[in-house]
Amino acid sequence: MTDIANISWIHWAGFIGAVLFFLALDLGVFHRKAHVVRFKEALAWTTFWFSLAMAFAFFVVPPDSRTEFVTGYILELSLSMDNVFVIALIFSYFRVRLEFQHRVLFWGIMGALVMRGIMIGLGAKLVAEFHWVLYFFGAFLVLSGVKMLFVDDDGVEPGKNPVIRLVRRMFPVTPDFVGQKFTTRIDGTLYLTPLALVLVMVETTDLIFAVDSIPAIFGVTQKTFIVYTSNVFAILGLRSLYFVLAGMIGYFRFLKVGLSLVLIYIGIKMLGMLWGLKIAPNTSLVIVVSIISLSIAVSLAAARMARREKEAEKREDTEQRE
């Protein structure tokens, strides 16, 4: 097993090559034809990507970096869950048919891998050159977490998205979808389809979420290889996770609170380094998992209680009518 200090371009090339192979297999074999991704299929893919991430952690990642990888992976995957709900709103706004959603997510994630790679590379360089940037990241995460607690900004308004407006100025857009195509030609002129606008919206949404998630993972580890690989595995699992969770948005009403507390915790942890405060990786893993698990448990309990109250109200209405 390679020590983290000896990670070379060969390891990077091997990892990226393996990721591209699995993505090509996904789109070229399993999803060559557009179809509706059902819950069981999505759950199977989610389990596959999670198992692959854990296998990578225990058979590839050096033992001294293993906890950091798992913590970073869980952190990024948890933050991605919030992204899932926003993507569901985007698909609903544009009325994207179910069988075309996987294609949008696939190419959206391809773009996310590139964008996050660039952001992580720049972040790693900044941290290496200017260590005080970590404290800036910490303060930013605390402010982001507090904002997430008190500000509801999940609305999807493509008309106000500057990138969407720029794209509309640069290219003509067809009024209707053209199957699963992102572009089409009409009388020799290249047109974008509404599906291309959906892809642009998904990409910009991921970029916005990355502004929070990238600094957060630097609060877990500053090892570039661990930062990038844990991010990639979380992003790869996002597609199938979307189809698992998209229909369950109402059951996770307190997840945002949990994510907010995680961001605040990571921010405080980074700021604590100013005064020599160091929290062991295992402790961070337990805290992050506990916060996310508790927020999901409370959400499910609240949803169950709300459902029982509705059922009780229906019974009362029925009894009164009789």
pLDDT tens column, 222-236: 889 999 999 999 888
Show the low-confidence residues of the chain (pLDDT under 50).
Answer: none
What is the span of the domain harbouring residue 264?
4-150+211-309
Q: Is residue 317 part of a domain?
A: no
Residue 246 lies in a domain: yes
> Which CA distances in Å does 287 have to 18, 87, 260, 283?
32, 27, 13, 6
> Does any domain span residue 155?
no
Going by C-alpha positions, the residue among 108, 102, 88, 109 that lies closest to residue 30 is 102
Task: Report the distance separating Cα 69 and Cα 76, nearest Å.
Answer: 10
Answer yes or no: is 72 within a domain: yes
Percent of the chain scoring above 90 in pLDDT: 16
Count of the separate structural domains present in the chain: 1
Is residue 60, in this structure, part of any structural domain at all? yes
Asked whether residue 158 is assigned to any structural domain, the reply reads no
DSSP reduced 3-state for 321: helix
d(CA 198, CA 196): 5
- Whether residue 198 is contained in a domain is answered as no
Residue 64: inside a domain: yes
Predicted local confidence at residue 195, as pLDDT: 92
Q: Could you tell me if 108 and 203 are in contact, meaning their C-beta atoms sit under 8 angstroms apart?
A: yes
